[in-house]
Amino acid sequence: MAFTSSMAVVGAQAGPNYPAPMLAIKNMQDAATLGRDAALEVEAKYFAKAAVTPQASALIGVFLADQGVKKAAGAWEKKSKKEIKQAAVLGAGIMGGGIAYQAAYKGLPIVMKDIRDDALALGMNEAGKLLAKQVEKGRMTPAKMSETLGRIRPTLNYGDFGNVDIIIEAVVENPKVKKVVLAEVEGLVREDTIIASNTSTISISLLAEGLKRPQNFVGMHFFNPVNMMPLVEVIRGKQSSEDAVAATVKLASRMGKTPVVVNDCPGFFVNRVLFPYFAGFHMLMRDGADFQAIDKAMERFGWPMGPAYLMDVVGMDTGVHAAEVMAQGFPDRMRHEWQNATQVLVDHQRFGQKNGKGYYVYAPDKKGKPKKSVDPATYDLIKGVVAERKEFAPEEIVARCMVPMVNEVARCLEEKIVASPQEADMSLLYGVGFPPFRGGACRYVDQTGAANYVAVADKLAPLGRIYEVPQLLRDMAASGKKFFG
């Protein structure tokens, strides 16, 4: 009875994609009445079963890829001779407060500057809430919380910026606003001060155009929520110096993050490959798929949330803005002439969790966290831009969402936007929650087989350019090569 109950609990927690926990329970059940030697034989049998699963191979690959990413970051850090004693963040609010919290939590003093008192209050409140949670969990004493909060210095002026070693700009995602702020602060800091923009999509080379010292300017893309997401993309613009990139990598590591250096392009790496995934989702809806069915299929595939739910969490207005940046940067495959469902919902002031209405509607649960439920009004609002409801097989839903993403990952490798398959895979795991048991987009291709992947993608090619297989993947299919040996 105990083992049966345990299997029910463990099976519910582990789910179908992680077989090892269930094998461990069965191992214990079979060996419970045996002597030592016989029990060891049973254990060896179950260990062998677990060791040859594709999940085991993928998770071992994740461990090795993680080590490779950390080694690459370490090599960058060794290039930097710059000491970072004082940081600053421009722009308070949720993101600025999160960045300030992360720096202070890791022992780095940081100035948080904004032009409004209420924004500074919001930023300090965000940092305070995050620290209070550490106290509640017993990870920090109230005295340590006070000391950490004291490392954040809120200000309405640039008076303290003369001694700042590195500045993280986190103002509104608008290139005109960012250029004004960046030019302003550059004129008030030391000549060796590094300036990093926490933009999620805007080209670093574009933002550097008005700067006098573009060699000191890089991108530093944090993911939201800052305290939870491990990844930081460090973006090298056309004129970014090796010293600036190395110092920014060092800062990200000091803040407890996993930095991955990528070259500049619209969306950088993570958002550039994420938005073709969203495009596949929107095309499915256009062709009659139910967004709830899409979410369920992608969650069964292993994503922590399906694309509709993810769009709600990201912020649908943010998603529409980012999609437009992608469309401008890659019009041949990311621009479309039809209106998608997300655009319609945003036009009706549905922005996702931030205002309680998106594809789903949200209300606080007992712990105060947003709980989603289905809103029939969503279907009424989008009926003008979607076809009559049609059922799609789960494997077709997966293919139509995943092929655009995987194709774009391959293009980024071809163009050297990201340096290696390891860094590509770990960026997706750490940045957007790619299913760990699948190992990342590159390892997913390896386990599927490049030839099998290309065959599936070619059947979808009539749907549009985002389904056209890049040459890298065609060459791999023809030669039988893999991303990982």
Active site residues: 221
Enter the tokens of residue 380. Answer: 């009424």
Alpha-carbon span 244 to 193, nearest angstrom: 9
Helix axes 117-136, 93-105, angle to 10 degrees: 50
Enter the tokens of residue 177. Answer: 């606003």
Helix axes 270-286, 291-301, angle to 10 degrees: 130
Nearest to 265 by CA among 328, 319, 332, 215: 328
Nearest to 409 by CA among 464, 449, 357, 469: 469
Helix axes 450-460, 441-448, angle to 10 degrees: 100
Pairing, β 152-155 against β 166-169:
unpaired
How many other C-beta atoms are found inside a 10 Å radius of the C-beta of residue 149?
17
- Residue 52 near residue 46 (C-beta atoms within 8 A): no
How many other C-beta atoms are found inside a 10 Å radius of the C-beta of residue 77?
17
291-315 burial code (b ≥16 CB/10 A, e <16): bbbbbebbeebbbeebbbbbbbbbb
Nearest to 161 by CA among 104, 112, 217, 106: 112
SS3 211: coil
